[in-house]
Amino acid sequence: MSRRSSTIASVSPPQASTQPITVTQPHLPPLEEFLPYLEQIWASKVLTNGGPFHRQLEAALATYLGVPHVCLFANATIALVTALQALRITGEVITTPYSFVATAHSLLWNGIKPVFVDIDPQTFNIDPAKIEAAITPQTTAIMPVHCYGRPCDTEAIGRIADNYNLKVIYDAAHAFGVQHQGQSVLNAGDMSILSFHATKVFNTFEGGAIICQDLRTKQHIDHLKNFGFVDEVTVVATGINGKMSEFNAALGLLQLRQIDELLAKRHSIDTIYRERLSGIQGIALPEWPEEADVNWSYFPIRIGTEFPLSRDALYLQLKAAGILARRYFHPLISEFPMYRGLPSAQVNSLPNAHKASREVICLPQHPGLSTADIDHVCMSIMTASEHAKRLPLAA
């Protein structure tokens, strides 16, 4: 299945953490390896505005990810806002309610009306079969999310976009390094947006990027993220300050050296969870598609009615055991106050998203987990289940 499976690393310090086990934890390289980068920054005094580390990271990421152009940003949210500006998107944009709130916020920041379309219950991604019915004369674009790093049906979405002359902007915040049929998923659509936030597979503390397909577009985006400046005296657009600093870019260069090893660790954690949790009644494990190279960024499990505890009861019991699993994505974006009045936000039009939002819990998944940590998570789930079977009312 994976280009990385041959390099699976073992993850096995013996002791479970005494600290809470969080859903994720940022990888940090050894501090001494970062010091030479800091010394260069201190010596040059170039801190931002497209310095050498910024240029190097853009080139290194383009090569690693297999994409033509990378425009670095301070975070993915400002990159989403800028991508919509760069493509001059207005009116209505079709998107998913099953995501982090930044996806839809980027639309409101541009005065665009989000139109929510339900998800496919198997993939958690926007259901292409339901997109056409949501298109109106005001629709200008589709903004899907590769949820948990699982590729959307980019072919079906591309066909709809071509038929109706719509732009496609992928929120690829979860999809660092993800490939589909041997190609980077980041090349689908008009633009893709990555997040390098502390909680992501590849982190630069804060950071993000727009992936685009031609140099002219890259230049336009680079102007937009720098207030619209082209040179000292020329401003060509109402740009914003979205630039990544040299500190973050230098860290990214260092992080990139270890990324394959970190992805391999995630893969091995995913494998261990599967061994421990498969066959438990009422728990559905994530099914990654055979033809994709995913990044194991999350381990979302579904708690069905055959499990003796509700998802929320399990969430609380894990918390009591020091395991801070998270209910991504609950509440849905469409349930937040600035969205719930929209016609497309009504509960009956989004049944699959609501069901997923009630049933999914993301277990801890990050390269810092030991085998003992994973065992503790799995044992806690099984203990909670056994206890609930014996004492259903208490559960």
What's the closest the beta carbon of residue 105 comes to ligand T4K, in angstroms?
9
- For residue 227, give the DSSP letter: T
Nearer to ligand T4K, 205 or 227 (CB): 205
Nearer to ligand T4K, 295 or 385 (CB): 295
- Beta carbon nearer to ligand T4K, 23 or 259: 23
Q: Which is nearer to ligand T4K, 198 or 253 (CB)?
A: 198
- The residues that touch ligand T4K, with contacts defined as CB under 6 A, are 22-26, 75-77, 99-100, 102-103, 145, 171, 173-174, 195, 197-199, 208, 324, 326, 328
Of the candidates 26, 27, 42, 32, the one whose C-alpha atom is nearest the C-alpha of residue 246 is 42
Give the nearest distance from C-beta 138 to ligand T4K in angstroms.
Answer: 24
CB of 100 vs ligand T4K, minimal distance in Å = 3
> Are 300 and 328 a contacting pair, CB within 8 Å?
yes
> Which of 147, 149, 205, 193 shows the shortest CA–CA distance to 27?
205
Q: Torsion angle, CA of 165/170/171/175, rounded to 10 degrees?
A: 170
By beta-carbon proximity to ligand T4K, the closer residue of 99 and 317 is 99
Task: Please state, in angstroms and rounded to a whole number, the distance separating the CA atoms of residues 259 and 262.
Answer: 5
Distance CA 7, CA 27 (A): 18
DSSP letter for each residue of 299-366: EEEEE-TTSSS-HHHHHHHHHHTTEE-B-TT-S-GGGSTTTTTSGGG-GGG-HHHHHHHHHEEEEP-S
Residue 77 beta carbon to ligand T4K: minimum distance, rounded to whole angstroms: 4
Report which of 168, 173, 172 is spatially closest to residue 186, judged by C-alpha positions: 172
Question: To the nearest whole angstrom, how small is the minimum distance from the Cβ of residue 85 to ligand T4K?
Answer: 16
| Closer residue to ligand T4K in complex, CB, 180/200 | 200
Q: Which residue has the tokens 């674009």?
A: 141
Encoded tokens for 157? 């979405």
Closest to ligand T4K by CB, 308 vs 368, is 368
C-beta closer to ligand T4K: residue 103 or 268: 103
Q: CB of 288: closest distance to ligand T4K in angstroms?
A: 18
Cβ 206 to ligand T4K shortest distance, Å: 6
C-beta separation of 368 from 11 below 8 A: no
Closest approach, Cβ 191 to ligand T4K, in A, equals 14
Q: Give the N- to C-terminal CA distance of the chain in Å, as an integer.
A: 39
CA–CA dist 272, 295 (Å, integer): 15
Rounded CA-CA distance 77/100 in Å is 10
